Structures are given as C-alpha cells and as structure tokens.
Structure 1
Amino acid sequence: MSIDLQKGQRINLQKSNGTTLSNICVGVNWGAIQRRNLLGIMKQEAVDLDASCILFDDQQNRMDVVYFGRLRSKDGAVKHSGDDLTGDMGEDDGKDNEIITVDFSKLDAKVNKIAFVLNSFRGQDFASIPFASIRIYEGTPTYVQSVFASYNIAQASNFAGHVSMVLGIFYKVNNEWKFNAIGEPTKDHKLEDTIRTVQQKFL
C-alpha cells in the first residue's frame, strides 16, 4: 500500500518487508487547461511542465542537473524520460507525463541531496492547471511494479500567480535516503532561478 504524502511530510524509503528502495522512479502527472471560448465551446490548452532533478553535495553545491535538455546525469544514476509538451488532454489518464529514474547505488558518493522541481515552460499559472501530482514507485518508466508513495498537489490560493514549484527532496542521513514532500510554489520563471531558490530555502 502506498503512502499518501502530505505537504511537509518526511518518510524513509523502507518497504513493509524491511528492505529499502534503491532504484526508484519519480513520475509527474498533470493535465491540460480547459477554457471556454467566446462561443462557450470548451477548448484544450496544452501545458508544458518541465520536471527537473538537481543533485547537491553536503555543502549545498550543485553537482549536476537532469532536465529535458540533459536526460542523463554524469554518473548515469539519474535518467529523464523526455519532454512532454501537452499534459493530459481531457481527463486524467493516470499515467505519468514525465518520469525521472534514480538508482541510488550508482550515485556519486558526494551526492547528499536530490531535489525535484517543476517549471511551467510557457509561463502558465499553476492555479489554472487542473491537476499535478508526483508518485514514487518501483519499476520502470513503462511498468509500475509497486507504488511506494504518492503526493497530490491540490489547487490552493497560494499557487495563483506562480509558474514554478519545488516538489520534494531526497536527502541522505547516515547513508540512508529519505524523502521530504515540499510542494511549495516559487516566483521563479526559469530553472536556474528555481535551483537558487532550492539552495537558499530548502536544503
């Protein structure tokens, strides 16, 4: 059974059988915007959200970034499935639009934190996007073996006017990886700005 994460909740990566997740997928799912035109006809507006992953050392220095323009980390431990330019057109199909995989066993030993962020490429307001969520699971980008945890980002007034957010951060304590579900919108418009916000406020 998966854990339904709440904003600010911290969890370890230990499964019910006592073993620890070492190779995980972080999937991001979101929907296209539905708007009515002047004739009252509902139209679909594609949403291009970009999931990115930033690796830091214990001094909060950026070591690597994985995003739609760089689909693999230097150590090969982190991989991105590729850019989704539309989101779910219509109803939520239950599938992830972008997936980042992490093999903790292959990570550079200096990596201490791994942050996941979302940026709205076209500057579409998060408050107008019908749904956005992340889930952590065992498997591959095409096969979900077992969902470990899910985090639904609810529409809230504090998301209005924002086009980027910090989803959550994996962090290492005594060689054990844990996860902090953050879900905070930021005022950044570019990935570089979001990375600085992560360094200044969330590490």
Structure 2
Amino acid sequence: MAINLQKGQRINLTKENGTTLSQACVGINWGAIEKKSFFGGVSKEAVDLDGSCILYDTNKTATEIIYFGNLKSKNGSVKHSGDDLTGDVNGDDGLDNEVITIDFANLDPAVEHVALVLNSYKGQDFGTIPFASIRIYEGTATNVREVFAKYDIANDKSFSGHVAMVMGVFYKKNGEWKFNAIGDPTADKKLEQTIQTVQQKYL
C-alpha cells in the first residue's frame, strides 16, 4: 500500500500481507488567506473549505451525504470531524482541519460507491489559498498509518480558478473495495452540483 497515487490511478485495497484495508480517512489541511494592507500590515481572511462524503447505491443514486450539516451516516460507518470555518490562521500546524473516516466493514451493503469531494463554501478560489492539501490514508483521525493519495491543491495550477473538486471514489467490484484517485477540479459552485457531477462523470 506504500504508494502515492497520481490522478487517475486505481488500486485495490488489499495490503501486502493479504489483509484488506478496513478503514480509511481523508484529511484536509488548509490556511487562511493573507491580505496585505496599503500601509504594509497583514490581515488574515478566514477560509471555509468543506470536505464531504457521498454514498451511492447500485443505481448510482446518492443515498446519504456526510458533510458539515450531517456529521455521520445513519449506521455510523462514515464520520466527519466537524466544520472548520477558518483554516490555520497562524500558519501550517501540520494537522488536518477536517477528517472524514470510513469504516468499509460496516457500510450499508447497498452502498457501491463512496465519493469524496471538496467545496469552498464562500467561493474562495483554491488558487488564492496559501496552502491546502488533501491526503487519503489508512488509519484513524488520530493515527495516520499509510498515506496512499495526496493532492496539493494550493500549488497545483489546474485548481486555480475553481471552488470545487472531486478528490476520489472508493468503489466495490466483485465484493472488493478499490480506490480511484481522481483529483479533478470541477465547474461547480455548490455541493449539490458536485453530487450531480460525480454521478454523471465519475461512477
């Protein structure tokens, strides 16, 4: 599993010792925007990025959305750490501002796709944020064991001018979970639109 996936790569979640990854997290870390004033001072503008997880069934219908307004799935198999409204105001502290945890063993059996998306709530362009990175890893919110996909959206020019992206999709094939590292910016402005984009383009 020691791989840093590039956009578009797919992997199965079987580890080198033959066991299957049972739990994964997506962690999002970002900073507040620095604004220099006319007189040379610096102020900070809060940045509200929102990580969300959408569960889709065999018909590619969204059955549940886990986001800042709904912090866990009905059966508790997907959990969101809570809404961060500001980003790191005092520079990068190295910690994730929002974490979504997925327990594959306890997902509803009808779920076939688990999509991870990111939206800028106030419409702040990804290209204006001083640092913003996403990592998808094996482990828990407090124990990062192995990172297998990472995106640096603040320094990747393809994200500039966008306020939404699809991070990746876990999908079930022949009873096994696999992962598609997507990392695509989208033209969406709101989460509702991104849910539709995933359904139309990425499942």
Q: Give the structure-2-normalised TM-score.
A: 0.92
Cα separation, partners in 2 of 1:144 and 1:2, compared to 1, 3 Å? farther
- Check the 8 A contact 1:135/1:147 in 2, yes or no: no
CA offsets 1:98-147 (integer angstroms, 9 cap, x no match): 11111111111110000011111111001111232222334332x21412
- Check the 8 A contact 1:29/1:132 in 2, yes or no: yes
CA offsets 1:123-174 (integer angstroms, 9 cap, x no match): 1001111232222334332x21412313123434432321111111111111
Tell me what 1:89 maps to. Answer: 89
Deviates more, 1:151-160 or 1:4-13: 151-160
- Check the 8 A contact 2:149/2:181 in 1, yes or no: no
Cα separation, partners in 2 of 1:8 and 1:131, compared to 1, 3 Å? farther
- Corresponding letter in the other structure for 1:72: K
- Check the 8 A contact 1:118/1:167 in 2, yes or no: yes
Q: How does 1:54-93 map to 2 (within 5 A)?
A: 54-93=54-93
Tell me what 1:153 maps to. Answer: 152
Tell me what 2:185 maps to. Answer: 185
Structure 1 runs, 4 residues or longer, greater than 6 Å off: none
Identity among equivalent pairs (%)? 61
Cα separation, partners in 2 of 1:64 and 1:145, compared to 1, 3 Å? same
Q: Give the structure-1-normalised TM-score.
A: 0.92
Distance (whole Å) between structure 1 residues aligned to residue 132 and residue 125 of structure 2:
12
Distance (whole Å) between structure 2 residues aligned to residue 136 and residue 81 of structure 1:
15
- Check the 8 A contact 1:28/1:98 in 2, yes or no: yes
- Corresponding letter in the other structure for 2:148: A
Equivalent residue of 2:200, what SS?
A: helix
Deviates more, 1:3-12 or 1:167-176: 3-12
- Corresponding letter in the other structure for 1:146: R
Equivalent residue of 1:3, what SS?
A: coil
Q: Aligned Cα RMSD in Å?
A: 1.7
- Check the 8 A contact 1:151/1:181 in 2, yes or no: no
Structure 2: gaps spanning 5 or more residues? none
Aligned length: 202
Distance (whole Å) between structure 2 residues aligned to residue 33 and residue 194 of structure 1:
24
Structure 1: gaps spanning 5 or more residues? none
Tell me what 2:11 maps to. Answer: 11
Q: How does 1:1-203 map to 2 (within 5 A)?
A: 2-141=2-141, 143-154=142-153, 155-203=155-203
